[in-house]
Chain A
Amino acid sequence: MKTLLIGEYRDGKLLESTYELLGFADQLGAESALLLVGSESQLPAYSGTLYIADAATCGEYNPDLHKQLVLNAVQQENPDYIVFLHSSYGWDLAPRVAASLKAAQISEIIAFADGSFEVGCCNAKMRRSVKPNSSTTVLTVQAGAFPALQAGGTPTVRKLTADVTSPLEFLGYEPAEKKDVDLGKAEIIVSAGRGIGKKDNVPVILALAKALGGELGASRPVVDAGWVEHSHQVGTTGQTVSPKLYVACGISGAIQHLAGMKKSDFILAINKDKDAPIGEIADVLVVADVMQFVPALTAKIAA
């Protein structure tokens, strides 16, 4: 069994998440080759074959160019699996490669068994087992689902080029909004999710954060709705946190949120839905109406 792993490199840096692909290939027990649009001056700690295209020449991510580079490597390598991270890079590029090869794509896998892959669905509440019907299969693996593996060594480098005209042009990066709160250093975080119901209820969550001497956090829907500023957002597109205590108020537990807070020492979740995926990682799940339970808890702590 052979895998071609598509690593990530952005703005002059090899992304650490690339090593999760190596961890996945190792668990799969597959022979692997790695592809990177990166720099030979920054080789990954890896002893297999590395297909490398020069990022200085290629520029930042262009889907049409990267697709062609992957297809060129596929032709040389003839892999059973072409593996991406399920990231903004992976979910953008993987379907293009799959469509070109008319290969099955299975997205955001979290486990595998006997040629079948396990993926989350219905907001991570349920799982599906999926089998490819094609000989080559494109996979995207969920960030954090497979531990990173840095086996060390120096790769055997094979250079890759492609000449592509694309209707798409990269214009530049916009840095993340300035954080007025550094949740990464907070010891206690009390986060509001959609389950709080409305913007007017945010002060209730803030009151608990104050009573505990912590900071206010928020899930993505609450930030998108304009209830809480983005600088408080916890998750893949917000801040990654690891406080001593994380209180999730009315947060169902979408994967993107869990990825940002699952390393917390102790997780207390309050949710009226007993089956909410936050329950999978919470140390304590209180099945209750947030707007009834939280004020009562705050009053007791403040007393």
Chain B
Amino acid sequence: MKLLVCIKQVPDLESRFKPDAAGVWYNETDLAFRMNEYDEYAVEQAVQLREKLGDGCELTVLSIGPDRVVEAIKKALAMGCDNAAHIQDSAASSKDPWQIASIISAYAKDKGFDIIFTGMQSQDRGSAQVGVTVAEQLGLACTTTITSFDYDNGTITAKRELEGGIKAAVKLKTPALVTCQLGLNIPRYPTLPNIMKAKKKEITAIAVADLLKEAALSTTTSFHPPAKKGGGIVLEGDVADLVEKVIAILKDKTAVLR
């Protein structure tokens, strides 16, 4: 069995975002980067399957981006991936979802992966396209937004999360790709021995130009904060004062405090 998990490194979403010089994406200065949260669930699920299948199973982690993404790759290796592919691209953020998917597909095309795991979406771009597009490009069975996963002898059984807490159970034959929703499992923290072991695992670097042959299908023309709607009151300052103000407002504007 050959497994692939695709991860993205994203900024801490608690950060303040400022447009870059071109005004089409965020300025990376002062941002701290980490593994996309959805991808942590994808890695965990892939590692669990890797452990269940044991010897003869190989799990590769892939990430596209500048040198900083090696940190996210190392975390995935410490969580239990066997080896890694770093697609080196200092301009990854300017690629559209079609191009990102095309890069992954070009890498995976001849490698015979049985199952590919991805996050359901990235926390920064959030297109929810890349995983499904890879499946289409490679002709794989695919299901999305899974909150449970089971594999047995060439068949995946999964539950998809629908609206209102309803789930749809589906069965699909491998080769397949699944996109992972939050809550699918409990992603592990890498232990120190595993972090040390991960240092010896192989990270293959590949230049993006060797894989990308597709032009972008869409272009970002602007990155900006939402227009402030106004209306809402913003209160700042000393906690005791804030409490007094909030109680006065609640008494004035709502019927819940007398």
Contacts and interface: CB of A to CB of B under 8 A. Distances in A.
Interface of A: 10, 60-61, 63, 86-88, 91-92, 94-96, 98-100, 102-108, 116, 119-134, 166-177, 187-188, 212-214, 220-221, 223-224, 230, 233, 236-238, 244-245, 252, 265-266, 268, 273-275, 277, 279-288, 292-293, 296-297, 300-301
Looking at A125, A131, A265, the one whose CB has the most chain B CB atoms below 10 A away is A125
Contacts of B250: 245, 266, 268
Given A91-B145, A288-B239, A288-B242, A280 B219 contact: no
A88 B160 contact: yes
Contacts of B121: 91
B94 interface: no
Nearest to A87: B163
A102 B96 CA distance: 13
A119 B135 CA distance: 24
Contacts, number: 251
Given A126-B225, A212-B256, A297-B243, A103 B217 contact: yes
Interface of B: 11, 13-14, 16-17, 24, 26, 96-98, 101, 121, 123-129, 132-133, 135-137, 141-145, 157, 159-173, 176, 182-183, 215-226, 228-229, 231-236, 239-240, 242-244, 246-247, 249-250, 253-257
Nearest to A91: B128
A126 B18 CA distance: 9
Contacts of A104: 96, 98, 217-218
Nearest to A100: B136
Contacts of B242: 286, 288, 293, 296
Given A99-B133, A168-B171, 18 more contacts: A91-B132, A95-B129, A95-B132, A107-B129, A108-B128, A122-B123, A130-B218, A130-B219, A132-B218, A133-B217, A167-B173, A170-B170, A173-B168, A223-B183, A283-B253, A284-B234, A287-B234, A297-B246
Decide if the interface of chain A is mainly helix, strand, loop or mixed: mixed
Contact of A126 (B97, B141, B223): B223
B223 A279 contact: no
Given A168-B172, A175-B166, A279 B234 contact: yes
Nearest 4 A/B pairs, CB to CB: A176-B165, A99-B136, A167-B141, A104-B217
B256 A92 contact: no
Given A125-B225, A168-B143, A105 B164 contact: no
Contact of A127 (B128, B143, B182, B223): B223
A224 B183 contact: yes
A96 B217 contact: no
Looking at A95, A105, A212, the one whose CB has the most chain B CB atoms below 10 A away is A95
Contacts of B182: 220-221, 224
Given A63-B142, A220-B182, A237 B217 contact: no
A280 B163 contact: no
23 contacts: A88-B160, A99-B136, A102-B217, A121-B124, A126-B226, A129-B224, A130-B220, A132-B217, A133-B219, A166-B141, A168-B142, A168-B171, A171-B168, A173-B167, A174-B168, A188-B256, A223-B183, A237-B161, A244-B254, A252-B13, A280-B228, A287-B234, A287-B235
